Structure 1
Amino acid sequence: FSVLISVSELRVVLLGNSWSERSSVGNFILGETEFNTEEEADCCQRVRGQLKEKHIVLINTPDLLHYNISEHKLTEHVRNCVSLSNPGPHVFLLVLQPEDFTEEQKLKLCRVLKLFSDQSIDHSLVLISTPREESSVFLENYKHDPLLRDMIRKCEYRFLWQKNLELDELLTRFSQIVKENNGDHVICDVFEDTKSDLTSGLGSLKQGEVDSVRLDPFRAAVAIKSHTPLPVESTTNQSK
């Protein structure tokens, strides 16, 4: 985690095909139950925490891979996620359940990453959820699953198994991604103006005082939770 020394905070976006699994992974990283694993949110959620003397921001997303999500709603969620990860995410953690991961979901996941930026795939790490049946045969089969293998290949073979995963190992992989990208975050240039407009309304909010805020012009409720008290961010901050 020491390679993140030049990064003032690490911003991670959680994507995948199961809200419960994404939320569980988020809680695992934070060491506390911050995301509700039972009830799926209909908006993006942001939680701040501190790990190894470093600030971390996790942004959990609704089910962007759902088969009937509209293009408008998909774009709206991505825009809100961009605003919450201002000035841009460092890592996309793709939490995938192999037994439920379909060809359609794989294509939609690639579409979502593309919506954020052409750079997104270079900042992505696949985390393979523990199968409901944890036999060695099932685990071996998933290693050869064509959809999973293709997604891992697209991410240049950056992947981890959730089974027996240790936090230090996950943070080390985050660090490697940051280092490989020279400490730079993803620049979501498609929504650059939108991001500026949306975050301008958040700059005056004192953390801990507001649980949710409705952002115009998209009128999307965004849940914001403060895990540890930090200074109010300046909307002009261009730090990595």
Structure 2
Amino acid sequence: MASKYTCLAEQEEPEKPELRILLLGKTGVGKSASGNSILRGKVFRSTASSSSETSECQKETSLFEGQTLAVVDTPGLYETKLTKEEVKREIVRCISFAAPGPHVFLVVIQPNRFTKEEEKTVKIIQEIFGEQAADYTMALVIHEDDVKEETIEEAIKHPDLKDFISQCRGGYHVFNSRNKDPSQVRELLKKINTMIKRNGGCCYTTKMFEEAEKAINTEMEQLEMTVASETAKEGRYKAERRNKFTLGDWDSTVAGAAASTAGVGAGIAAGVGAGIVAGAGIIVQGARVGAAAGVAAGSAEAAGVAVDIAVSVAVKAAILKWKLWDCVTQ
């Protein structure tokens, strides 16, 4: 699915808009610990174990030097324990949490534990979120206190790691996943912001993210009418977790949208016919105007159905890709 380089509603946001970071990577690699370091607090569950502590998407925010950082932690890309339904749920939650789109796909890797399957990560991101997502992808090369940064830089020269990082068009950043020092967060954000400027100053978005944002805004409007005392932040929190997009039945939506398509052609034809009949009693030009109106009405219906199909197919494709890569690693 082609990406759209538009700022959406971000032009109306404060001088320092929210920065959305989507953490991705292999199970147990240290995504949650990295998220905690970025937000400078223990908000994501993290252990030293190689097993996954994250079974569902989680979004947490924190203010850093006047800018809101929103970090979305995700289950491992190679998490084989999730069922198809769980994968479906987490894909749509991930999209909803990052809507209207992430500013960076931050792929967490450990150079001393880098595997063949991790070499495919950028390709997976592209297949799930779109080809141009690689322009917004950065490798977060993590280490702990007992490892010198010079050792990490030397490890990055390994051909496999070097090739992987070259696929991340946002480059890489060496990061201590256990250190809460704000200077390393500052340096990371500096690199992310440089990448954002290079990409036109906007977040990465596709039709999936746009539809999720639309559903969130609709849900927020409904919440405002029912809970007047709720703040915009509280409303957004609730709306991101429960909206038409996250509750969508993507299996039936594709079938239903496809069935609707069959009636669109007939609708256009009926519109043309009605326009001609309406115009026939006046002059031929009237018939043309009426026919054009009929075509426009039918086309509008077709456009709506096309959006349903495109978004539904994209979500289902994302679910399929995630599960396909799961199968490869089993």
TM-score range for the pair, normalised by the shorter chain length: 0.7 to 0.9
Confirm or deny: 8 A CA contact 1:18 1:97 kept in the other structure. Answer: no
Confirm or deny: 8 A CA contact 2:136 2:170 kept in the other structure. Answer: no
- Which residue, out of 201, 209, 213, partners 1:183? 201
Partner residue in 1 for 2:247? 216
Partner residue in 2 for 1:102? 115
**RMSD (Å) for aligned C-alpha atoms:** 3.5
Counterpart secondary structure, 1:119: helix
Confirm or deny: 8 A CA contact 1:94 1:126 kept in the other structure. Answer: yes
- Which residue, out of 15, 20, 28, partners 1:11? 20
Amino acid at match of 1:142: A
1:61-97 residue CA offsets vs partner (Å, 9 max, x unmatched): 1112336767775554333211111111111111112
Distance 1:218 1:43, change over 3 A: farther
Amino acid at match of 1:82: I
Partner residue in 1 for 2:41? 32
Normalised TM-score (structure 1) = 0.73
Partner residue in 1 for 2:72? 59
Shift of residue 131 of structure 1? 6.9
Structure 1 or 2: more strand by fraction? 1
Confirm or deny: 8 A CA contact 1:117 1:189 kept in the other structure. Answer: no
Counterpart-to-counterpart distance in 1, 2:159 and 2:87: 26
Partner residue in 2 for 1:42? 55
Counterpart-to-counterpart distance in 2, 1:74 and 1:132: 34
Q: Please say which of residues 133-142 and 162-171 is displaced more in the overlay.
A: 133-142
Q: Larger radius of gyration, structure 1 or 2? A: 2
Partner residue in 1 for 2:258? none
1:119-138 mapped onto 2 (5 Å cutoff): 119-130=132-143, 134=147
Counterpart-to-counterpart distance in 2, 1:73 and 1:34: 22
Partner residue in 2 for 1:167? 185
Confirm or deny: 8 A CA contact 2:142 2:175 kept in the other structure. Answer: yes
Shift of residue 101 of structure 1? 2.5
1:164-212 residue CA offsets vs partner (Å, 9 max, x unmatched): 8712211111111111112111112256445544664466385458789
Shift of residue 48 of structure 1? 1.4
Distance 1:91 1:208, change over 3 A: same
Counterpart secondary structure, 1:162: strand
Distance 1:34 1:16, change over 3 A: same
Counterpart-to-counterpart distance in 2, 1:18 and 1:131: 18
Larger RCO (CA under 8 A, 6+ residues apart): 1
Alignment size in residue pairs: 216
Confirm or deny: 8 A CA contact 1:90 1:186 kept in the other structure. Answer: yes
Percent of residue pairs identical = 25
Confirm or deny: 8 A CA contact 1:17 1:97 kept in the other structure. Answer: no
Show structure 1 runs of 5+ residues with no match: 220-240
Counterpart secondary structure, 2:163: helix
Partner residue in 2 for 1:117? 130
Shift of residue 54 of structure 1? 1.1
Partner residue in 1 for 2:157? 144
